Amino acid sequence: MYNSKITGLGYYVPDNVVTNDDLKQWMDTSDEWIQERTGIKERRWIDPKSGDTTAVMGAKASKIAIERAGLTKDDIDFIIFATLSPDMYFPGGGVQIQDMLDMPTIGALDIRNQCSGFIYSLSVADQFIKTGMYKNILVIGSENHSGGLEKSTRGRGVTVIFGDGAGAAVLSRSEEAGKGILSTHLHSEGKHAEELALMGPSTGRWVPEIMEANDPDDVSYYPHMNGQFVFKHAVTRFSEAIVEGLQANNLEKSDIDMLIPHQANLRIAQFIQKKFQLTDDKVYNNIMKYGNTTAASVIIALTEAWEQDKIKENDLVVLAAFGSGFTWGSVVIRW
């Protein structure tokens, strides 16, 4: 059986910076209020005039990752695209990437696991490579949240958190023992699905019906989040997923060289850091400047940490995410 190894990383975020103070034009909020609850100072939102979309951002990040892997688009055997905000209800973003990058008629798979989407995608890619089915897989996480947020005081509890952006990784076959992805661990608990959800549009609640009803109090087509409930479950499941990954590889928490948590809330990341007794140089957070980019958050943070030389050869890198579904998981990597 082969091993899979990350050989290329890339990310892209829109140029348009939206600070906490900028949000005052839409809602009753303040920089202090947002930073105290989330740790976020600013985020990137797509400028509608820029031409950026979920797929376009994914393509831009992918080009960087493929080049850094020392490959061309024709070397990629398969595409996995994770997002909760596709350009179209269907088809998914994977086929758009295949077209935008002018790739051969390779397979394209879309993953709908929201905040844990990139973790799930890496796990799927890892299995395809380990069994010998594919040699080089392009894994993408991309989100356009700003186009679907309720920019008002009523929606501020969700809107202040989310940002736009994309990241990509090339996962390649390796025969080097003990290197690359050591293990992946995935979980879900659907009974809490509506605690963090977008109830419409869906096949049961199409936009024209909502618009025809014209009910100003109908918020089902905006994201809903029970923040305290999500926080409580997140800190528990984050910890469990990390411990599970370590135990599966006979490792201790002291063996972690770099933890890249999903950038949901800085307070969650700080809680996990304290629980695992990790120093600041062993945890990478960038939610302060990008907000929560959902499926893109882990890969953007991983790419930045690597670019800043915070991840070195043979380092033990742990990725972990928790989010809507509820779904959660972890990936243990020997770099």
Mind telling me the catalytic residues? 115, 262, 292
β-strand pairing of 258-261 with 316-323: parallel
Alpha-carbon span 239 to 235, nearest angstrom: 6
Determine contact, residues 241/185, Cβ cutoff 8 Å. yes
Alpha-carbon span 13 to 54, nearest angstrom: 11
Omega of the bond leading into 91 within 30 degrees of 0 (cis): yes
Alpha-carbon span 219 to 202, nearest angstrom: 14
Nearest to 287 by CA among 309, 260, 308: 260
- Provide the CB-side half-sphere exposure for 323 (13 A, CA): 30
Amino acid present at 14 = P
DSSP character for 278? -
Nearest to 6 by CA among 130, 93, 122, 142: 122
The sign one gets for the Cα dihedral 283, 68, 175, 184 is positive
Mention every residue, 6+ apart, whose C-beta is less than 8 A from residue 25: none
Residue burial 122-158, b: 16+ Cβ < 10 Å; e: rest: bbbbbebbbeeebbbbbbbbbbbbbeebbbeeebbbb
The DSSP code sequence of 162-226 is: B--EEEEEEEEEE--TT-EEEEEEEEE-GGGGGGEE---SBTTB-HHHHHHHT-TT--TTS-EE-
